[in-house]
Amino acid sequence: MKVGFISSEVYPFTKTGGLADVSGALGKYLGENGVDIRVITPLYAQSNVRSADFHPVDFLQGLSVSFNHRKLYYSVYTAILPGSSTPVYFIDCPELYHRDSIYTNHEDEYLRFAFLNRVSIEIFQYMNWAPDIIHCNDWQSALIPLYLKTLYKWDKLFKNTRTLLTLHNVGYHGNFPLHVVHELGLTDFMPLLDDFDTRQGRFNFLKTGVIYADMLSTVSKTYAREIQTPEYGHGMEAMLAYRSQRLVGIVNGVDYTEWNPETDREICKNYGLKTLNLKAENKACLLNELKMPYHFQQPLIGMVSRLVEQKGVDLIAEVMEGLLEDFSFQLIVLGSGEERYERYFYGLQARNPERVFFYSGYNNTLAHRIEAGADIFLMPSKYEPCGLNQIYSLKYGTIPVVRKTGGLADTVKAYDWQTQQGTGFVFEHYNAAGLRWALEHALNTYAHPEAWMKIRIQAMKEDFSWDRQVREYLSLYQKLLKMD
Ligand code: ADP
Ligand code: GLC
């Protein structure tokens, strides 16, 4: 089976969030399971491609593609995805991809990613490689299904190619003014675009993918249901409900070669189920590194997150001050995102210097150390398609406090004080009282070492390895190939 996998970020080359982890892992695990998979992604100024085998593809140099009257030049480089034999192809176009960040608010953002869509198709043409499936991810590659049905319809190479669009986050649409349609070369196909959007003078990349992909998937079963409702559909619920027969939920896996306390090279002291006592050394180490006092019995709450509304920072802001007054604990937050949230955490740290630490920015090593060192992991998302950090936390015995939504609902089992079963603390409604209740429940349970140990063990025994999850993708691919 030949699969072209298109993604705007692929770990370990580029990463802003979970899409990168999932793209890297799927590239690797699908390859290991016999799929001839070729991954295509942009070469950003930020891409980490220092690996020894990174080199130009000789027959893919100095090429161009025209958008309306604009001709854009590119070359293609390749490298093997570490730990696999899967090739990754990087599209080098400095004019589009050498910017201050991977994603921008620049006026030509639509072009940066429409380019990824068209060049991916053209790379397959130059390779004379007919993919059975093109697997697209999020809005940045959601135009491929439409392009295959329009601009590239003439090419017999794609006669049997099916498309799958995975929705990692329906909150990000790639929504642009309608005039971009001309620049994207789609003027003649205007009637194929969503009528509602065109009347509003808009063009929506993700919705276009939702309409034209042969199959849709998202990253948890609960989120697959949620996005068909107004609360979670971000205006796309009707279209998603209409296509529900073609929409499946597959919960993300974890690459345990990266996220496993027994082998993690980023943390101070490796530990596992049988050596759980060593976890405390990671806490001491982390607090010491951040110049915070270490109190053996005081719980440490950790958070690693993009700081955006989705992640529930507003709720944290409502409850944290009061909680700090009523309970003794420390809090370490690693994240970057909206300025208002960064300002909030800086303020909280300034008011509680020995108890709160905020690290603004992206730091992979610190993310691992927080997973290993913290006792409780905070993730009170407003919505969460899947979420990876709560699953990493389970493996590190760092008990998640989450809201019952999307992938959080599918991966964390609510702790029941009576039966002592469960792997985390789960609240249902998105409000401050819910979060306060869950955090109180977690902090009170932490004070009972035996109960806490039991939850830790239950959490660490959970298995979300890709070996298992990848089988769901394989059967989805099989189903897609058999579809009319
Ligand atoms: P999302 O993709 O919505 O950001 P996920 O939980 O699926 O959420 O994935 C987030 C990934 O990004 C995790 O691997 C997490 O460790 C990582 N991450 C998020 N913020 C940071 C940061 N500031 N520094 C390092 N890693 C981060
Ligand atoms: C998105 C979602 C997150 C998910 C990730 C990978 O960024 O916000 O919940 O885990 O994609 O699928």
DSSP 385-425: SS-SHHHHHHHTT-EEEEESSHHHHHH-PBPBTTTTB-SBE
The answer to whether the CB of 364 is under 6 A from ligand 1 is: yes
pLDDT confidence band for 280 (50 / 70 / 90): very high
Kindly give the distance from the C-alpha atom of residue 417 to the centroid of ligand 1, in angstroms, as a whole number.
30
Kindly give the distance from the C-alpha atom of residue 72 to the centroid of ligand 1, in angstroms, as a whole number.
32
Domain 273-463 is classified in which CATH homologous superfamily? Glycogen Phosphorylase B; (3.40.50.2000)
pLDDT confidence band for 181 (50 / 70 / 90): very high
Q: Is the pLDDT of residue 371 over 90?
A: yes
d(CA 374, CA 282): 8
For residue 21, the ligand 1 atom closest to its alpha carbon is 14
Ligand closest to CA 391: 1
Of the options 3.40.50.1100, 3.90.1170.50, 3.20.20.60, 3.40.50.2000, the CATH number for the domain spanning 2-253+467-481:
3.40.50.2000
Kindly give the distance from the C-alpha atom of residue 123 to the centroid of ligand 1, in angstroms, as a whole number.
30
Kindly give the distance from the C-alpha atom of residue 417 to the centroid of ligand 2, in angstroms, as a whole number.
30
Separation of first and last alpha carbons in the chain = 17
CA dihedral 80, 258, 221, 148 (to 10 degrees): -10
- In this structure, are residues 1 and 133 in contact, taking their beta carbons and an 8 Å threshold? yes
Ligand closest to CA 371: 1
For residue 252, the ligand 1 atom closest to its alpha carbon is 7
pLDDT at 451: 97
User: Which of 208, 130, 210 lies closest to 166, judged by CA?
Assistant: 210
pLDDT at 74: 98
For residue 169, the ligand 1 atom closest to its alpha carbon is 3
Q: Is the pLDDT of residue 65 over 90?
A: yes
pLDDT at 99: 98
Average pLDDT (148-168) is 98
The answer to whether the CB of 306 is under 6 A from ligand 1 is: yes
Q: What is the mean pLDDT of the chain?
A: 97
Q: Is the pLDDT of residue 51 over 80?
A: no
Q: Which two tokens stand for residue 437?
A: 């209740």
Ligand closest to CA 139: 2
Q: Is the pLDDT of residue 484 over 90?
A: no
Kindly give the distance from the C-alpha atom of residue 414 to the centroid of ligand 1, in angstroms, as a whole number.
23
Q: Is the pLDDT of residue 379 over 80?
A: yes
pLDDT confidence band for 68 (50 / 70 / 90): confident
Q: What is the DSSP letter of 57?
A: -
Within 10 A of 268 (CB to CB), how many other CB atoms are there? 18
Could you tell me which residues are beta bridge partners of residue 218?
Answer: 167, 249
Radius of gyration of the chain (CA): 23
Q: Which two tokens stand for residue 119?
A: 């060049």
pLDDT confidence band for 296 (50 / 70 / 90): confident
pLDDT confidence band for 402 (50 / 70 / 90): very high
- In this structure, are residues 140 and 174 in contact, taking their beta carbons and an 8 Å threshold? yes
pLDDT at 207: 98
Vertex 219 angle, CA 215 and 223, to 5°: 95
Please report, for the chain, the start and end positions of each structural domain, with discontinuous segments joined by +.
Answer: 2-253+467-481, 273-463
Distances (CA, A) of 122 to 65, 67, 136: 9, 14, 15
Average pLDDT (447-458) is 97
Question: Is 0.95 topped by the overall pTM?
Answer: yes
Kindly give the distance from the C-alpha atom of residue 334 to the centroid of ligand 1, in angstroms, as a whole number.
10
pLDDT at 333: 98
Average pLDDT (401-406) is 98
Mutational test site, ligand 1, from 21, 257, 266, 377, max ligand atoms within 8 Å of CB: 21
Average pLDDT (12-26) is 96
Q: Which two tokens stand for residue 168?
A: 């990692």
Lowest mean pLDDT among 51-60, 96-105, 226-235, 268-277: 51-60
Q: Which two tokens stand for residue 77?
A: 């480089």
- In this structure, are residues 96 and 115 in contact, taking their beta carbons and an 8 Å threshold? yes
- In this structure, are residues 29 and 467 in contact, taking their beta carbons and an 8 Å threshold? yes
The two beta strands, 70-80 and 55-56, are antiparallel
Average pLDDT (313-341) is 98
Q: Is the pLDDT of residue 426 over 90?
A: yes
Domains 2-253+467-481 and 273-463 share a fold: yes
Q: Is the pLDDT of residue 52 over 80?
A: no
Average pLDDT (46-66) is 94
Name residues contacting ligand 2 (CB within 6 A).
Answer: 17-19, 22, 168-169, 219, 252, 384-388, 407
Average pLDDT (124-151) is 98
d(CA 437, CA 458): 22
Ligand closest to CA 405: 2
How many Cα atoms within 13 Å fall on the side-chain side of residue 161?
A: 29
Q: Is the pLDDT of residue 307 over 90?
A: yes
